Chain A
């Protein structure tokens, strides 16, 4: 086959899955899932809104206006105002920024710690594996809420403390997944071939094992985003998370525990609720879609 001929063939079959690179074929399969694609677009819109709305909006999150409190939605205040007269539209997107931002930071740190420790445990095995896995088991059996209350009680509630708590208790999950994957990949014949070829440990981990684990890490991260958002909102709702006046979707729902707000001022608590619902749903469905696209065999 000459080069020219080959080029023609390539042009003809752009859409053929087997011609694509690994991530190309993952996206090829992902694109076929309408629900996942829809959620991906919705998620992107929410994220873009959270980034840009606070920048272009004329209002600020903390400017109170007592004359204007508890207003229903109007042209000036698209989502109305709260009991301090703050604009809820900008607080909604700013809250999303914080909620999603925390989730992102937590998941990224979790993944970095989890992947490194999981790789070490899985690759070297023996004593170091036992130590890391026992630590994971201890962390995973911590009573979560008790731990949060204690930490917040000692250090006060702030965003860094919240992130620390979530990461501290969360990385064990990803470490276990990565370790499991590495253990099974390590047995594959191409790893044995690497050993026979005398490839160094570093290259074996970073060039051969990690890229094959990455797909699972990404799926975990996407699904992890959803659960971190939920946990963060729950903690903020309980007053253990981010302290007002910094808005998050969690502490924005908090007024709903007063009956008057719940029954008459729906504009205060419905938008953050919808924000939480939509983003969690989107992350979950995108994560599921990604998982199916990455490993079509896992579906059944």
Chain B
């Protein structure tokens, strides 16, 4: 699966220093992302799920170098993103974009849609002048389901779903190959969510886009992804094709996560054998020793508390980070 990979992430790490005292001495690190490895193939969607604080958003931002990585490699189409010079990076950024969760804070309230979407086209000389920019903006927002006359309006004149369409249009303006969707539909109403998800799917089919789809909503990730990675406190605990992860989850955390999602069938109420985990997600500032899931794992053994499990490929393309993967 790695031959056609557009993006390879190798042992990516992102630590945030914890500073204390008057001299801002670093007293520790929040290990938001602690050595994760995966590939995304061209034209495919990788879903990244996990609970809040597991490092999934940090992963997306670090890959785009919006945050400076602590260690590791991000190879985008043969180029090492993390070692690239700043001037080259600025041009290179057009190839990868990001869509955020909050459609309110992700649009500048002072600019009309035309400028929000078109600004980067002028910056990167994708269009020669303002007139062509406007034409191109109208074309792109049309693709995203907005009307040409809406190009002159300001963000506050749009609803949440429409704003998310503007965000998508802004990302598409520079003809990217890869888009990180960071909880892109989580803040939207259910009926609007499905519109945006369909739009993302249509754009992918049309333009051959590659997505990293970050979400805490398992049903959405299952719907849109080809491959799925499950994160827990900075580790990628299980990673493989969607069908394998959802049909045959191996890691105890994946199992618990899948069973925790509310079902739509009221008849299943009380019948499903839900794995309810005890306790809360540990803090990444002070992660548990060994396997980070051992504090909540129903199958915990002494070795889990001592050594960090290796990331093992159980089947081709199905990686699990658990000491007991074979026996579960």
A touches B (Cβ under 8 A): yes
Interface membership of B13, Cβ < 8 A: no
Interface membership of A263, Cβ < 8 A: no
Instruction: Chain B residues near A189: list those with CB within 8 A.
Output: 100-102, 105-106
Of B38-46, B87-95, B131-139, B259-267, which stretch is located at the interface? B87-95
Instruction: Chain B residues near A192: list those with CB within 8 A.
Output: 61, 66, 98, 100, 106
A window 1-32: CB within 8 A of B: 1, 3, 6, 18-19, 21-22, 25
On whether the beta carbons of B149 and A190 are closer than 8 Å, the reply is no
Of B119-127, B211-219, B276-284, which stretch is located at the interface? B119-127
On whether the beta carbons of B174 and A197 are closer than 8 Å, the reply is yes
- The distance from the CB of A40 to the nearest CB of chain B, in whole angstroms, is 23
Q: Looking across the interface, which residue of chain B has its beta carbon closest to that of A188?
A: B105
Interface membership of B154, Cβ < 8 A: yes
On whether the beta carbons of B108 and A199 are closer than 8 Å, the reply is no
> A189 vs B174: C-alpha distance in the bound complex, in angstroms?
18
- The distance from the CB of A205 to the nearest CB of chain B, in whole angstroms, is 13
On whether the beta carbons of B157 and A198 are closer than 8 Å, the reply is no
- Chain B interface residue count, CB cutoff 8 Å, equals 36
Interface membership of B299, Cβ < 8 A: no
Interface membership of A137, Cβ < 8 A: no
Interface membership of A125, Cβ < 8 A: no
A window 173-226: CB within 8 A of B: 188-190, 192-193, 195-200, 203, 207-208, 211-212
> A195 vs B157: C-alpha distance in the bound complex, in angstroms?
25
On whether the beta carbons of A197 and B93 are closer than 8 Å, the reply is yes
Beta-carbon contacts of B42-62 to A below 8 Å, as 1s and 0s? 000000000000000000010
Instruction: Chain A residues near B109: list those with CB within 8 A.
Output: 22, 212
- The distance from the CB of B201 to the nearest CB of chain A, in whole angstroms, is 22
Instruction: Chain A residues near B110: list those with CB within 8 A.
Output: 22, 208, 211-212
Interface membership of B156, Cβ < 8 A: yes
Interface membership of B170, Cβ < 8 A: yes
Q: Looking across the interface, which residue of chain B has its beta carbon closest to that of A6?
A: B149
Given contact pairs A189-B106, A192-B66, A212-B108, A198 touches B124 in the complex (Cβ within 8 A): yes
Q: Looking across the interface, which residue of chain B has its beta carbon closest to that of A193?
A: B106
Interface membership of B18, Cβ < 8 A: no
> A195 vs B98: C-alpha distance in the bound complex, in angstroms?
10
Instruction: Chain A residues near B123: list those with CB within 8 A.
Output: 197-200, 203
Beta-carbon contacts of B176-219 to A below 8 Å, as 1s and 0s? 00000000000000000000000000000000000000000000
Given contact pairs A198-B90, A198-B94, A190 touches B120 in the complex (Cβ within 8 A): no
> A18 vs B155: C-alpha distance in the bound complex, in angstroms?
10
- Chain A interface residue count, CB cutoff 8 Å, equals 24
> A19 vs B154: C-alpha distance in the bound complex, in angstroms?
9
Interface membership of B111, Cβ < 8 A: yes
On whether the beta carbons of A1 and B105 are closer than 8 Å, the reply is no
> A190 vs B166: C-alpha distance in the bound complex, in angstroms?
12
On whether the beta carbons of A199 and B120 are closer than 8 Å, the reply is yes
Q: Looking across the interface, which residue of chain A has its beta carbon closest to that of B179?
A: A196
Q: Looking across the interface, which residue of chain A has its beta carbon closest to that of B170?
A: A193
B window 6-30: CB within 8 A of A: none
Q: Looking across the interface, which residue of chain A has its beta carbon closest to that of B174?
A: A197
> A133 vs B157: C-alpha distance in the bound complex, in angstroms?
38
Instruction: Chain B residues near A207: list those with CB within 8 A.
Output: 111, 115, 119
> A223 vs B252: C-alpha distance in the bound complex, in angstroms?
61
On whether the beta carbons of A18 and B157 are closer than 8 Å, the reply is yes
- The distance from the CB of B148 to the nearest CB of chain A, in whole angstroms, is 8
Instruction: Chain A residues near B171: list those with CB within 8 A.
Output: 193
Instruction: Chain B residues near A188: list those with CB within 8 A.
Output: 105-106
> A78 vs B100: C-alpha distance in the bound complex, in angstroms?
66
- The distance from the CB of B86 to the nearest CB of chain A, in whole angstroms, is 10
> A135 vs B18: C-alpha distance in the bound complex, in angstroms?
27
Instruction: Chain B residues near A195: list those with CB within 8 A.
Output: 66, 93
> A196 vs B212: C-alpha distance in the bound complex, in angstroms?
15
> A203 vs B111: C-alpha distance in the bound complex, in angstroms?
13
- The distance from the CB of B112 to the nearest CB of chain A, in whole angstroms, is 8
Instruction: Chain B residues near A25: list those with CB within 8 A.
Output: 156
Given contact pairs A21-B154, A196-B98, A198-B90, A190 touches B119 in the complex (Cβ within 8 A): no
> A207 vs B119: C-alpha distance in the bound complex, in angstroms?
10
> A199 vs B173: C-alpha distance in the bound complex, in angstroms?
13
Instruction: Chain A residues near B82: list those with CB within 8 A.
Output: none
> A1 vs B154: C-alpha distance in the bound complex, in angstroms?
18
Instruction: Chain B residues near A196: list those with CB within 8 A.
Output: 64, 66, 93, 96-98
On whether the beta carbons of A193 and B111 are closer than 8 Å, the reply is no
Interface membership of B144, Cβ < 8 A: no
On whether the beta carbons of A198 and B91 are closer than 8 Å, the reply is yes
> A173 vs B27: C-alpha distance in the bound complex, in angstroms?
33
> A195 vs B106: C-alpha distance in the bound complex, in angstroms?
12
On whether the beta carbons of A198 and B154 are closer than 8 Å, the reply is no
On whether the beta carbons of B102 and A197 are closer than 8 Å, the reply is no
> A199 vs B174: C-alpha distance in the bound complex, in angstroms?
11
Interface membership of B107, Cβ < 8 A: yes
Given contact pairs A197-B170, A198-B120, A190 touches B108 in the complex (Cβ within 8 A): yes
Q: What would 13 more interface pairs be, CB under 8 Å, given A18-B157, A189-B101, A197-B97?
A: A3-B149, A19-B157, A22-B154, A190-B106, A190-B108, A192-B98, A193-B100, A197-B170, A197-B174, A198-B93, A199-B123, A200-B90, A212-B108
CB pairs A–B below 8 angstroms (15 shown): A6-B149, A22-B156, A25-B156, A188-B105, A190-B106, A190-B107, A192-B106, A193-B170, A196-B93, A198-B93, A199-B120, A200-B90, A207-B111, A208-B110, A212-B108
Closest 9 CB pairs of A and B: A189-B106, A197-B120, A198-B93, A198-B90, A189-B100, A211-B110, A188-B105, A190-B108, A189-B105
Residues of chain B touching chain A, judged by Cβ–Cβ distance below 8 Å, are: 61, 64, 66, 89-91, 93-94, 96-98, 100-102, 105-111, 115, 119-120, 123-124, 147, 149, 154, 156-157, 167, 170-171, 173-174
